[in-house]
């Protein structure tokens, strides 16, 4: 196997792992939704309950669309039908991604709708009622006689709206910060794909040069740097699924950026005069 084949194999393994993350987010959010929506998840609440799952699924499809357009398909493949199909699928993905972004903001709003549990000074005092402890964002542990004293020594507890779930002040702050990172991360990714769309369109017209190229490159340094900081934060806060997902997406879009770079180099080589 030569280096090019090895690189392509590694790239598609990363894509497959990103697709698998759809399942991991769904499994995590199903558990959280059972507590947050004890009466069942209504259609209007789907985005709040499953924002990460919807977001990841849309991003995986969008990633494949970028891979097709920037690497797999050649110029001769871009018939009117193929072009319309690619653009239509991407537009649908963007709709779901924006939809998921509002889901993250709804979830953040929900986390500020907590109430102080009056007269309750320890998690053990909630037993034998079926309460849970919020261990991190969208993750809960059932309170039992065996574990209730292990979560916190804080005598001030907060309850999430309409949920039999509690957390202490420090845990609530950490969870809210993670939710803020979710919102910021989603917003930055929206800006990145906007730049990528502009890059691809300019590249198709042979105009991805000069100030346009310089601006895109500088903006991406800032945006990808922000995403890297978000991944590091998730890593330190112990949310491995979010950290792993963020890391894989950064790697995946490095591949897309490489595709665009190679595409640009090919166009430049073709447009350069041939010396006798």
Reported as a single tens digit per residue, the pLDDT across 51-65 is: 888 888 988 998 888
**Confidence at residue 275, expressed as pLDDT on a 0 to 100 scale:** 53
Residue percentage of the chain with pLDDT more than 70: 95
Closest CA to 109 of 161, 69, 153: 161
CB 123 within 8 A of CB 157: yes
CA count, 13 A, side-chain hemisphere, 11: 18
pLDDT at 1 over 70: no
pLDDT at 160 over 70: yes
What residues contact 110, with CB distance under 8 A and at least 6 apart? 36, 48, 160, 161
Contacts 24+ apart (CB under 8 A), 187-191: 187/101, 188/223, 188/226, 188/227, 188/230, 189/59, 189/97, 189/227, 189/249, 190/97, 190/98, 190/101, 191/219, 191/223
- Round the average pLDDT of the chain to a whole number and report it: 86
User: Phi/psi at 7 (nearest 5 deg)?
Assistant: -60, -45
Q: Which residue has the tokens 């920037």?
A: 70
Preceding amide of 226 cis, omega within 30: no
- Please compute the mean of the pLDDT values over residues 185-208 and round it to a whole number: 84
CA 108 to CA 56: how far, in whole Å? 18
**Confidence at residue 77, expressed as pLDDT on a 0 to 100 scale:** 74
Element (H, E) at 133: strand 132-136
**Confidence at residue 271, expressed as pLDDT on a 0 to 100 scale:** 63
Written in H, E and C, the secondary structure of 45-98 is HHHHHCHHHHHHHHHHHHHHHHHHHHHHCCHHHCCHHHHHHHHHHHHHHHHHHH
pLDDT at 99 over 60: yes
- Enter the DSSP assignment of 272: S
Scanning the chain, the segments in alpha helix (DSSP H) are 3-36, 46-49, 51-67, 80-111, 169-204, 210-236, 240-271
- Please compute the mean of the pLDDT values over residues 114-120 and round it to a whole number: 91
Q: Which residue has the tokens 């897309």?
A: 256
CA 132 to CA 34: how far, in whole Å? 12
**Confidence at residue 79, expressed as pLDDT on a 0 to 100 scale:** 84
- Please compute the mean of the pLDDT values over residues 179-203 and round it to a whole number: 88
CA 204 to CA 220: how far, in whole Å? 20
- Please compute the mean of the pLDDT values over residues 101-118 and round it to a whole number: 92
Closest CA to 60 of 204, 220, 189, 198: 189
pLDDT confidence band for 201 (50 / 70 / 90): confident
- Please compute the mean of the pLDDT values over residues 24-52 and round it to a whole number: 85
Please write the tens of the pLDDT for every residue from 212-271: 888 988 998 999 999 999 999 988 886 777 888 888 888 888 888 887 777 777 766 666
Which of 26-35, 105-114, 237-246, 262-271 has the highest mean predicted lDDT (pLDDT)?
A: 105-114
Closest CA to 55 of 174, 189, 148: 189
CA 201 to CA 106: how far, in whole Å? 33
């Amino acid at each position: 196997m030569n280096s090019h084949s090895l690189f392509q194999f590694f790239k598609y393994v990363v894509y497959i792992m990103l697709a698998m993350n759809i399942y991991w987010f769904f499994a995590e959010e199903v558990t959280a939704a059972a507590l947050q929506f004890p009466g069942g998840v209504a259609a209007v609440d789907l985005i709040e309950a499953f924002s990460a799952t919807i977001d990841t699924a849309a991003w995986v499809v969008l990633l494949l669309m970028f891979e097709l357009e920037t690497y797999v398909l050649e110029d001769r493949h871009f018939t009117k039908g193929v072009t319309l199909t690619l653009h239509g699928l991407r537009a649908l993905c963007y709709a779901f991604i924006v939809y998921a972004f509002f889901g993250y903001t709804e979830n953040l709003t929900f986390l500020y709708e907590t109430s102080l549990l009056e007269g309750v000074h320890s998690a053990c005092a909630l037993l034998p009622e079926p309460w849970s402890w919020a261990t991190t964002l969208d993750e809960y542990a059932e309170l039992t006689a065996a574990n209730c004293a292990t979560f916190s020594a804080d005598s001030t507890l907060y309850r999430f709206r309409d949920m039999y779930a509690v957390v202490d002040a420090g845990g609530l702050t950490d969870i809210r910060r993670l939710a803020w990172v979710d919102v910021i991360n989603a917003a930055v990714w929206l800006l990145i794909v906007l730049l990528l769309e502009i890059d691809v369109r300019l590249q198709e017209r042979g105009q991805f040069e000069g100030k346009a190229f310089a601006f895109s490159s500088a903006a991406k340094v800032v945006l990808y740097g922000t995403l890297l900081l978000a991944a590091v934060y998730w890593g330190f806060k112990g949310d491995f699924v979010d950290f792993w997902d963020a890391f894989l997406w950064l790697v995946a879009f490095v591949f897309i950026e490489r595709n665009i770079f190679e595409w640009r180099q090919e166009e430049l080589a073709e447009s350069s005069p041939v010396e006798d």
